[in-house]
Amino acid sequence: MKQSWTTGLSFGLTSGIITTLGLMVGLYSGTHSRLAVIGGILTIAIADAFSDALGIHISEESQKGQRHKAVWEATVATFFSKFLFALTFVVPVLLLELKTAIYIGVVWGLVALGGLNYFIAKIRNKNPWMVVGEHLLIAILVVIVTYFAGIWIGAVFG
């Protein structure tokens, strides 16, 4: 796979997983509202996908010698990978009890992030368990912090 596509896909998927998990868990713990969680996921899927795609676009343009086509490949890959993957988190929220959907979303996100990082580590000839472990630890930290932030926000502003 071309480096520009790999850059966009890996960034978009990672951002889509971490951002959506944090948002879902925080909104759930603060509101226990299916509407808030679905609205948050859809908002992230749209607004943050555009934001991340523009961020990658500008980052790629800032690299000397970067081809125009490669910049746009990374931009498109970032947008669609984040947008489409974020939408996958809506499915359990629509079909299941909200608490169960949140648990399933967290497991789904961690499995997907682990799989992505395993694949990347193998390509780079790195120890996959160190790469996967490091990134899953960060993702779990995000889930924990946003859970308690949601509780705090709900208590203070709810």
Computed on alpha carbons and rounded to an integer, the radius of gyration of the chain in Å comes to 17
Does this model's pTM top 0.85?
A: yes
Would you say 30 and 153 are in contact if contact means Cβ atoms under 8 Å apart?
A: yes
Per domain, the residue ranges of the chain are 3-157
Question: Does the pLDDT at position 1 exceed 80?
Answer: no
Alpha carbon distance, N-terminus to C-terminus of the chain: 48
For 12-47, what is each residue's pLDDT tens digit? Answer: 999 999 999 999 999 999 999 999 999 999 999 999
> In angstroms, rounded to a whole number, what is the distance separating the alpha carbons of residues 44 and 46?
5
